[in-house]
Structure 1
Amino acid sequence: MYNMFAYDIMETMRVTNQWLGASAQALGSYPVHGLAPNPMFRMLSAWGDVTERSFDRMVARPDWGIDTVVGEDGRDHVVEVEIVQKRDFGDLIRFRVQGRPESQRKVLMVAPMSGHYATLMRSTVASLLPDCEVYVTDWHNARDIPVSAGKFDVEDYTRYVVDFLRKMGPDTNLVAVCQPVPLALAAVAWLAEHEPKAQPASMTLIGGPVDPDANATEVTDFGRRVTMGQLEHLVIQRVGFKHAGAGRSVYPGLLQLSSFISMNLDTHTTAFRDQIMKVAKGEAGDHDRHNKFYDEYLAVMDMPAEFYLSTVERVFKNREIARNVFEIEGQRVDISKIKEVATMIVEGENDDISAPGQCLAAMDLLTNLPAAKTKTHLEPGAGHYGIFAGRSWRNNIRPLVLDFIDDNAGRPANRRPANGTGQAADTSTLEESGPTPV
């Protein structure tokens, strides 16, 4: 019960700050203050505007914001998001482009379950839509999932990916980004051994911790320093009374956000100070660079406690994927069983979350996959976010991924343009380092 009160105290603090911001914004905006002009009132209103918006966004689920895409015919085609398979902890969704022939490239993007919504992949999805049929794993906020739905850990996550791949069929091209890379690898290995006809045609693994010890980072060092008991005591709480998932053990999104911000506190402090000055001067916009970035960055979701703790213990501490001893319900998943699924590894030279070598470690496990079906790429100068949604992704990596998909589908001569022609407008305003989706 104590942990439920702790959860509600955090929410009370958020609501209080949102109210203070709204009150300050209203107080500083009274017309009567014009009788005695004083910059204090403008600053008060600006501070309230930025504060109210920031704390309000922390509990708002962002929209995908992908309404149309330009087709090869030069016309705008309406994009509809539809649920293909609905599950308790996450859905398989499809971005269906109306009025155009169905693309031969079918891509499943496995999004991280790591504190931010799958909309963190918005610009990645938008960049692929002109050339692909895009499906995404859309994970739910744990605070909205009733306790009756049961647990959700790394094994359940892997089974969800297996089910989604089975649903989509063998012509699927899997693209996993960051945190889910090792579990997506395990899902494909399970299919390779048990349902080979349901294997995807290819998989692209981008900046994920297959072997966290291959190149240590601050993230991996933290996992080594803290015991599981300490971690559970420090970060796990029970969802408060006002949500459908009341009583569920979670790693709260607000607590995760405080950790994200503390990693770059000076940068965030400067960004908010500058934004307050811009609002006071009338130079800010509702959808300016700051608001686009922080509307996404501040929108956090609770993570199931079992998933977070089992990820730290089994992927980072015990290195079960790296040692090829990962099990599902007591049955070993042998990654060496992958013999036909073409695999591409993408890493960023300056990635400080999943450093170079951590994802490349997958190649050491794919002992029975012919070299002709493998490809690796290290993007020079790219940070973590840049390899899947920044300039490096758009200009360099995306074309390589599309070519890799075509080469291993047996139709290199029939490729659609991979140069971004007709590409939807870039919706990304996050810097190359971006939020940390792990």
Structure 2
Amino acid sequence: MTRHTHSRPDVTITGLGLVTPAGVDTESAWKTTCEGRPAAAADPRLAGLGVPFSCSVTDFDAELTLGVEARRMAHFTQFAVAAAREAVADAGAAGHVWDPTRVGVVVGTGIGGQDTWEEQGARMRDRSPRAVNPLTVPKAIGNIAATTIAMDLGLHGPSFSTSTACATGTTALGLALDLLRAGRCDVVLAGGTEAAVTPLVTTAFDRLKALSRRQDDPSGASRPFDQDRDGFVLAEGAGVLVLERTEDARARGRRGYARLLGYGSTTDAHHLTAPDPEGRMAQLAIQRALEDAQLDPADIGLVNAHATGTPQGDAVEARLLERVFGGNVAVTSTKGVTGHMLGATGAVEAAFTALSIRDGLIPPTANFHAPGPDIAGVDIVHGNARSTQVSAAVSNSFGFGGHNAVVVLGRA
């Protein structure tokens, strides 16, 4: 039952911008995801490695999209700026409808400009210290995506980067919600970005035994919840959402995609990479997000699960979802299509969740055929997209280090 115990500003998502392996704009990414078409394929950047495939962003021409300034940006910043431009245009913000001193940017990254570090490290090793680009540090540091968005769009409110590993994008949404509720901003651009499909990062994840090694079938390698899952597929991309108070959006004739109703966050404090096997703190994050949204589990019609395709992580999440929702909620994982975008994934999946609410359509979990014995009591949408009206939904993100972040979205 919905509860209304106190008054506070309502927040609406009025703009979406996506750069993903499923498509380099929102509607193409959404179409591919609803069709359940996996993006994983052989990646020339990874040739000769133990895992030579990824979910990469294709058909993205940085200079064509961003101009010559793209040359001064690492790839994670290019993705973020492109997504932010799309999100702001989608929100109908042309003509300076906002006071730029009241617009914030909270866009995080899990790893940052890793491609720049690797490229410049190779220059120093193979050539000389003088071959290192003087802009290496300002291109690669994690905060630069957020501040470059602010510079590109002329925004002067607070801007900063979150970094909670694979929960980064969702953490950014929660902090943006706090900024709006506290009255510190009128609008916030929030999300995450990542461009860490590099030889070193891929090899490091492979050495950790976190990645699928299904070299004979890359498109079938990302298998959330499936009985034959063997690890995640590394991906890249960005997602930026425009958030503003509902009354302000409606005053300028914008209904938006969905409302951001609640946020919950906890820390496992258990292990560097493995989740708490009982999922206690992840479950608490969901419960706190529901409390913040003033909703009960029975109000939720969809969970966009974190489910990456790892044996342990998916099993833990399935069990905690059964405990919270009792099998009475549709569950999907869009990572079967996109792979795991690390710091960008929470923002992209929140955007997909908002689109599910808008369209009454839940994307299928690509490559899911049958659950293993450790996946039970969960209604996993698979095969085809499911048409159903969703009034409220949950999007989960769980990251290395035990970071748990959850958002609740509702119909606009």
Q: TM-score, normalised by structure 2?
A: 0.32
Pair member with larger Rg: 1
Q: TM-score, normalised by structure 1?
A: 0.30
Bigger helix fraction:
1
